[in-house]
Amino acid sequence: PAIWVITVDAQTGDILHRYNNFQTIDAQGVGVLGDTKKFQVSNGAGGFVMQDASLGVTLRTFSAKQKEAARGTIVASNSATSWDTGTAGKGAAVDAHFNAGVVFDFYKKVLNRSALDGKGTAMLSTVHYGQGMDNAFWDGQRMAYGDGSQLFKPLAQSLDVVGHEFTHGVTENESGLVYQTQSGALNESVSDIFGSIIEHYLTPDDAKNMVLGEDIGLSGPLRDMKNPGAGSQPAHMSKLVKTSQDNGGVHT
């Protein structure tokens, strides 16, 4: 996005000078774990909205307000320094918006890829999906995060979970992996790997970043990439799980 202000020579038509007058707003908010994060927002009705158009790709963060809404309403605030301060999943929007920016940054700077489809399509996130949903998902157009209840804290807080789910969008655009049995498990594995890599890109830690969801699991991490057996996952093809559940065991 740009608002080009251009000075043109009236006689020759040559461009003498130009600059981008597209103005973004520095904002900050407190995430699920009480940490302060900085991010970009835009002007909105009565204040500001969680829309970052400073990257060449638009990032938008919505709230489903504890409903199973298709998208929800864009997260808004009358202050650039106070966001998502409600009770259920407090701060999840801050984490989702910030983490989506990290995912975009990784794919652009490390792999020279413009967003999930490589064409700069907007990256959309929806927080507070459903009532205490212990899950997050990619639905083909956007990311959605539950606030957790029995198993997890709000899932948007975890960068490797955010990286995992958005990478499903990359896989969807780059391969024909059918989401069943072994091809579906490969799909999930690619997301796990990139979730770890993206977390390591922001905060390098050879030990911590080998486990997924370590900061949101109420009874431990989701999976251990270095020692799969520690998370009750098969560590070798000899332990291949054959089941009719979970689309043929795509998560195992």
List, for residues 8-65, the tens digit of each pLDDT value. 999 999 999 887 666 678 999 999 999 999 999 988 877 899 999 888 789 999 999 9
Contact 64, 128 (CB under 8 A): yes
pLDDT in tens, 69-79: 888 999 999 99
Tokens of 52: 């970052």
Residue 172 bears catalytic tag? no
* Rounded-to-integer distance, Cα 160 and Cα 163, Å: 5
149-153-158 Cα angle (round to 5)? 145
pTM of this structure: 0.88
**What kind and span of H or E run contains 108?**
helix 92-111
Q: Catalytic residue among 165, 168, 188, 199, which?
A: 165
Has 128 been annotated as catalytic? no
